[in-house]
Amino acid sequence: MARRYYSSIAARTTLSADVTNVATTIGVTAVSGWPESFPYTLIIDQDTVNEEVVTVTDRAGTTLTVTRGVDGSTGVAHSAGAAVNHGVSARDFDEPNAHVNTDVKHVLVVTSGTRPGSPADGQIIFETDTDSYFGWSGTEWAPIGGGGGATGGGDDQIFYENGQTVTTDYTLTTDFNAGTFGPVEIADGATVTVPASSVWTIV
C-alpha cells in the first residue's frame, strides 16, 4: 500500500470556486499547516449529504490536483465556500488492521516447557501462520535456520544450525549483514544478492 501523509496542525479551509463532480483540480482559500508531501486525504463537505473523500496528489499554491471519490465516496459537485478538511477515512484504519492480520509474523525464543513439535529451550522460531495469534501448533511455528538455538546434553545453549544449500533466490536486506556457517552451496538457478552496503560472511 502507498504511504499517505498527515498533519496535526492542518487548518480547515473552504473551496475558492465551484467544483464539478469530475474536476481533477480544485482551488481552496488556504493551505495552512497542510502536509508538504503527497499524497494526503481531504474531506469536502464533511458530515453532509455531499461529503466526498479525495486524495491530493500535487499542489501549486492553493490549487490542488486530486483523485475524486476515493475510499467508497462518490464524486459530487461542490459549491464555492464548501468546507474542506484534512483528515482520515476508513482506509486509514482498514489498511494497518489488514497488515497486522495478514503480513505480520512473530519471532519467539523458546524459554521453557514442552511444546508441540518439540522445539528446544533457547531455540529461535518464527510464526508461519499469521492467523495463529500466538497460538501453538507444530504447523504454525518453525525454527529459524532449521534449528537455531539447539541445546546440548546439559541444556547448554551452544549450537546454531543452518542448512548447507541455498535452493531459492535471496536478497540481503539493505544495510544489514548476514552470517552463515559453511561450507554452503548455492544450487543451480538460485541467486544470493548482496547489496553494496551489506556483507555476507561464511565461516
If you write DSSP's letter for every residue of 44-105 in order, what string do you get?
ESTTSTT-EEEEEEEEETTEEEEE-S-TT-----B-TT-EEEE---HHHHHHHHHHHHHT--
* Interatomic CA distance for residues 54 and 6, integer angstroms: 14
Residue whose grid cell is 547489496: 195
Q: What pLDDT is attached to residue 133?
A: 42
Domain enclosing residue 18, as ranges: 13-94
For residue 146, tell me if it sits in a domain: yes
Q: What are phi and psi of 43, to 5 degrees?
A: -125, 120
pTM of the predicted protein model: 0.55
For residue 8, tell me if it sits in a domain: no
> Is 59 found in the same domain as 128?
no
Gyration radius from the chain CA atoms: 26
Helix and strand numbers (H, E) in the chain are 1, 17
> Is 75 found in the same domain as 31?
yes
Q: Please return the burial class of 123, using the count of CB atoms within 10 Å of its CB with bins 0-12, 13-18 and 19+.
A: buried
For residue 99, tell me if it sits in a domain: no
Residue whose grid cell is 489488514: 98
* Interatomic CA distance for residues 93 and 192, integer angstroms: 37
Q: What pLDDT is attached to residue 161?
A: 78
- Which residues are 85's β-sheet partners? 43
More confident residue, 67 or 137: 67
- Out of 139, 156, 173, pick the residue that ends a domain: 156
* Interatomic CA distance for residues 62 and 31, integer angstroms: 6
- Mean pLDDT value across the chain: 81
Confidence of residue 154 (pLDDT cuts 50, 70, 90): low
> Is 74 found in the same domain as 23?
yes
How confident is the model over 93-119, as pLDDT tens digits? 998 887 767 655 555 555 455 454 545
* Interatomic CA distance for residues 78 and 15, integer angstroms: 8
